[in-house]
Amino acid sequence: MPVAFWLLRLAIRLLGLVSPALAGRWVYRLWFQPLRYPEPPQEQEWRRTAQPLAVVHRGQALAVDSWGTGPVVLMVHGWNGRGAQLGAFAPMLVRAGFRVVTFDTPAHGRSPGRATNLPEISEAIHAVARACGPVHAVIGHSFGVACAIYAVQHGLKVNRIVAISPPDSLRGLTRKFFTALDVAPPVQEVFNRTIETHYGADLWQRFSTEVLARQLDVPGLVIHDQNDRDVPIEEGVAVARAWPGAQFVRTIGLGHRRILRDPDVIARVAAFIAS
């Protein structure tokens, strides 16, 4: 881990010993602040072949890229990610006759903002969908799956959903967050009370991918890797089981991100979307 991250963990731990309330509110603010990582050369190359699309969300321009023509396939990246992370899907889908659209969600990549949340990202998905026309299918990765399904449950019309490496619950995400930052139980309690105050005590159900999947009437394909260390495969299995009629594909050795560049995964996704 970078030295700065170790120092952050230490600062949270020390503040938690003195004032769990202050530490809990600090951790709460950090929860909504994604990290921006440098864009690797391959993603830059994918973007150079794309056409930018003008989309304004809450008064600010989102970074949106588009390839090809035809029925729209909208791709949604995960937390701390970028739209171009899913760029490997574009060539095959374009050859199959689709228009592929991806974007950097608020506070991610080249889009403005310092903090965001699931409902805001869902709103941004709706804004991009309005700008590019009817959406035939949506591909989500990791946290982007939760945002995409939430958008569908709130009015986004699609014919297919592909969920790659989906988390099953908000509880699970917060537990991983607490573990990464070494957050003490008293500080966790303050965090939980604070988030329930702002979003309602039922947010654990309203924002749960597994719970939302139970209500879907859209054909789904869930793909998850056996060796995913960021989101265990059991979470993807839980989402697929909850989703009426969903297909589940298990991969091996691709982890949480290489799965987005695997030729067999891309071919399977393209076939499902075209079916």
Tokens for 228? 């995913």
Count of CA atoms in the C-beta half-sphere (13 A) of 60: 14
Structure tokens at 81: 């990610």
Using a 10 angstrom Cβ sphere, with 0-12 exposed, 13-18 middle and 19 or more buried, the burial of residue 35 is: exposed
**Distance, CA of 248 to CA of 181 (rounded, Å):** 32
236 neighbors 222 (Cβ within 8 angstroms): yes
Question: pLDDT (tens digit, 0 to 9) for every residue of the chain, 275 residues total?
Answer: 678 899 999 999 999 999 999 999 999 999 999 999 999 999 999 999 999 999 999 999 999 999 999 999 999 999 999 999 999 999 999 999 999 999 999 999 999 999 999 999 999 999 999 999 899 999 999 999 999 999 999 999 999 999 999 999 999 999 999 999 999 999 999 999 999 999 999 999 999 999 999 999 999 999 999 999 999 999 999 999 999 999 999 999 999 999 999 999 999 999 999 99
Contact 88, 50 (CB under 8 A): no
Phi-psi region of 60 (alpha: psi -120 to 50; beta: other; left: phi over 0): beta
The pTM for the full model equals 0.96
CB 271 within 8 A of CB 135: no
Q: Are 274 and 74 in contact (CB under 8 A)?
A: no
Sign of CA dihedral 39, 40, 45, 46: negative
The two structure tokens encoding residue 260: 């987005």
Three-state DSSP class for residue 73:
strand
Burial degree of 186 (CB within 10 A; 0-12, 13-18, 19+):
middle
Paired tokens of 241 = 């089981």
Euclidean distance between CA atoms 160 and 133, whole angstroms: 16
Alpha carbon distance 90, 67 (integer Å): 7
| CA-wise closest residue to 129 among 71, 48, 60 | 71
Q: What residue type is 20 in one-letter code?
A: P
Q: Render 186-204 in DSSP notation, one character per residue.
A: HHHHHHHHHHHHHH-TTHH
User: CA geometry: angle at 202 spanning 201 and 208, to 5°?
Assistant: 130
pLDDT reported for residue 1: 64
